[in-house]
């Protein structure tokens, strides 16, 4: 290829809508990134910051619906213990909106609830926040910029609540994920330019 031919081909790249290519690659790469973040947080308990957090041991109120559907035996066990006057687990009656609700005080908080359900992992994995993950996606896409977050109000509220509680952005990508997205973008852009230049 002569120098003139090469210059002519470079000049023609403007006609390939380079910005559209970048946006398309960023969108595809971000969809993969969403899955990686979701899987990492739920399966390894490690946030983008590299930190993980323990479940709360602050006393909490629970009812039957606090336990997973397939873990109702745990509630039955707790309800039985709450009848023992010497047990730190006990029943209380809460009045709300003119209604009385019978709930159980778990002195060991959410960490205790998870243990009662036979989950011995003390690290949060946020897997029970199903509404949050169902709405986790690409919120905004424009001008080579993708914004990840809750695509529904409920999902974004849960993301904000969990992030504020742990003082850490629970949906942030980690360094490895950012590097993989960067490498994906770089590789595909180079392949596009090579193909466009016929080299």
Sequential pLDDT tens for the chain (199 residues) = 555 565 566 556 555 566 777 888 889 999 999 999 999 999 888 999 999 999 989 999 999 999 988 899 999 999 999 999 889 999 999 998 889 999 999 999 999 998 999 887 778 888 878 889 999 999 988 877 889 999 999 999 999 999 999 999 999 999 999 999 999 999 988 887 777 666 6
Residue where one domain finishes, among candidates 102, 122, 142: 122
Domain holding 34, by residue range, is 1-52+126-199
Does 190 lie in the same domain as 98?
Answer: no
Domain boundary among 104, 122, 140: 122
**Structure token digits, residue 110:** 């959410």
Do residues 109 and 151 both lie within one domain?
no
């Amino acid at each position: 290829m002569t120098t003139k031919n090469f210059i002519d081909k470079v000049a023609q790249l403007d006609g390939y809508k380079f910005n559209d290519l970048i946006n398309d690659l960023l969108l595809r790469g971000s969809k993969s990134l969403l899955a990686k973040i979701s899987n990492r947080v739920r399966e390894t308990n490690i946030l983008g910051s590299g930190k993980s957090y323990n479940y709360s041991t602050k006393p909490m109120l629970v009812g039957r619906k606090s336990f997973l559907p397939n873990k109702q035996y745990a509630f039955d066990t707790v309800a039985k213990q709450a009848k023992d006057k010497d047990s730190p687990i006990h029943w209380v009656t809460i009045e709300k909106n003119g209604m009385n609700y019978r709930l159980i005080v778990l002195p060991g908080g959410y960490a205790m609830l998870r243990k009662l359900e036979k989950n011995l992992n003390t690290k949060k994995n946020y897997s029970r926040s199903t509404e949050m993950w169902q709405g986790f996606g690409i919120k905004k896409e424009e001008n080579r910029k993708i914004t990840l977050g809750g695509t529904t109000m409920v999902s974004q509220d849960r993301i904000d609540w969990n992030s504020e509680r742990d003082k850490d952005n629970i949906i942030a990508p980690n360094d490895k994920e950012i590097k993989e997205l960067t490498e994906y973008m770089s590789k595909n852009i180079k392949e596009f330019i090579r193909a466009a230049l016929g080299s």
